[in-house]
Amino acid sequence: MALQIDFALVFFSVFFFLLLSVAQSVRTFDVRNYGAVADGRTDNQKAFLQAWTDACNQNGFSILYVPRGVYMLGAVEFSGPCKSPIIFWLRGNLKAPMGPSSGAENWIGFQYVNKLLIKGGGTFDGQGPSAWSSNDCQTNTNCRQLPTTLKFDFVTNSRIQHIRSLNSKNTHFSFFECKNVNVSKVEILAPADSPNTDGIKIGSSTDIRISKSRISTGDDCVAILSGSSNIDVSYVYCGPGHGISIGSLGKYQGEKNVNGVSVRKCIFRRTDNGVRIKSWESPIPVIASDFLFQDIYMDRVRNPIIIDQTYCPHASCNQQTASHVQIKDVTYRNIWGISSTPIAISMECSRQFPCKNIVMTDVVLAHFGPQGPSKSVCSHVNGRHFGQHHPRPCF
C-alpha cells in the first residue's frame, strides 16, 4: 500500500513538473496585442510581421495566435530560421487585398522555417474574384503572375492541418525546397472556371504527404514538378479540377528527376483528368519514375488515366524533338469508375524514350454514351497487365 502511494506520488510530481516546465516555455503571441484589428478593412501587415518576429526569436515554443474575426492582411513574408518550433494558430479569417496585387509574388510566404505547425480551423481568403479577370496568361506568354496564397520555401519538418484556402488569386499552396511536411485535413476551394488556381504545387521537395483533404478548384488539384521525390497523396477528394498531375516536365533547362510518387485511396469527381503524367516535346532530359496509383474511384472523369508526352496547352508549341522525359516503373492498381469520354485510358509516350515497365492490375473504367464502350489508346508503351480489365489494355 505504502509503496503504491509513493509510486503514485512520484508519478504525479514528475508529471506535474513536466507540465510546469512545458507551460513555462510556451509563449503565445496574440496578433491583437500587436495592434491587429479584426474589422476586415484595416491592413494588419505590420502587426502580423511584428508578432512573427517576436515569436520567432523566442526560445522554447511559441504560438502566433490569430483569434476569431476577419483580418485584412497585405502581402507578408514570415522568415526564419526561428529559435524554436512555432505554431501559426489561425482561428480567424485572413483576407487578401482586393485586385491583382501587382508586384507581390505571394500573398503569404513562409521561408527557412523548421518545425512549423499551421492549424486552427481558420481561412485564408485570397479574394480571387477581384483578380481573376486580370489573368491574361492564356493569351499573353509574358503575363504577370497573380500571387500564390501560401508559399513555402525551405520549410522542413512541418505540419499544416485543419485550415481552409478559399478563392486564391493563383495557386493555393506551393512548396519549394521543402522536406518532411505533412498536410492534412485542409480544404481548398475555388470555382471550376477560376484560372490557374492549382490546389497544391510541389517542386524540388522531398517527403511531402497530403492526406484527408478536399480540393475543389479551377486547375490541378495537386501538381508534382521538377526535383520532387517521395510524395504521398492519400484520402484526397478532387473535384472539380484538372486532377492530380506529375509535370508538366521537360519545359525548362536544368529540370531534375521526379521519383517516388504515390496517389492512394482518392476520389475524383467530374474532373478533367484523373491521374496524369505530362511532358513537353523538348530535348531536356528528365527521368520520371517509380509511381503508384492505387485504390482510386473515378466518377465521370474526362481522362481518368492519361500519359501525355506531347503536352502543348497552347495552339502551337515550339516542338523541337520528341520528349526526352523517360517515364518508367509506373503501377496502376485497383482503379474503377466512370469515364465521361470514350477514351478512358490514353498513353502517348515519347517515340524516342518509350514508357518502360508500366503495370496495370484491375483497372475497370466504364463509359456510357452514343460512341460506345470505353477504349484505351496508346503509343510507345512497354508494359504488362494483370487481373480484370475494361477497356482492354492497349499494350
Ligand X SMILES: *[C@@H]1O[C@H](CO)[C@@H](O)[C@H](O)[C@H]1NC(C)=O
Residues in contact with ligand X by the rule CB under 6 A = 157-159, 180, 182, 209
Does 162 participate in catalysis according to the annotation? no
Three-state secondary-structure class, residue 46: helix
CB of 211 to ligand X, least distance (A): 9
Q: How many residues would you count in the chain?
A: 395
Residue nearest to ligand X (CB): 182
231 or 284: whose CB is closer to ligand X? 231
Taking alpha carbons only, the member of 195, 250, 187 closest to residue 219 is 195
In sequence order, what are the residues at sequence separation of 6 or more whose Cβ sits closer than 8 angstroms to the Cβ of residue 166? 123, 124, 125, 126, 189, 190
CB of 246 to ligand X, least distance (A): 21
Three-state secondary-structure class, residue 154: coil
Give the whole-angstrom CA distance, residue 65 versus residue 164: 16
CB of 242 to ligand X, least distance (A): 27
The single residue of 125, 153, 198, 219 carrying the catalytic annotation is: 219
The single residue of 242, 324, 367, 380 carrying the catalytic annotation is: 242
Does 6 participate in catalysis according to the annotation? no
- CB 244 within 8 Å of CB 262: no
Taking alpha carbons only, the member of 350, 364, 362 closest to residue 386 is 362
130 or 294: whose CB is closer to ligand X? 294
182 or 206: whose CB is closer to ligand X? 182
73 or 118: whose CB is closer to ligand X? 118
CB of 117 to ligand X, least distance (A): 8
* DSSP structure class, residue 209: E
C-alpha cell at 222: 495537386
- CB 204 within 8 Å of CB 224: no
CB of 180 to ligand X, least distance (A): 5
118 or 246: whose CB is closer to ligand X? 118
Taking alpha carbons only, the member of 26, 181, 33 closest to residue 118 is 181
Report, as residue numbers or ranges, the catalytic residues: 219, 242
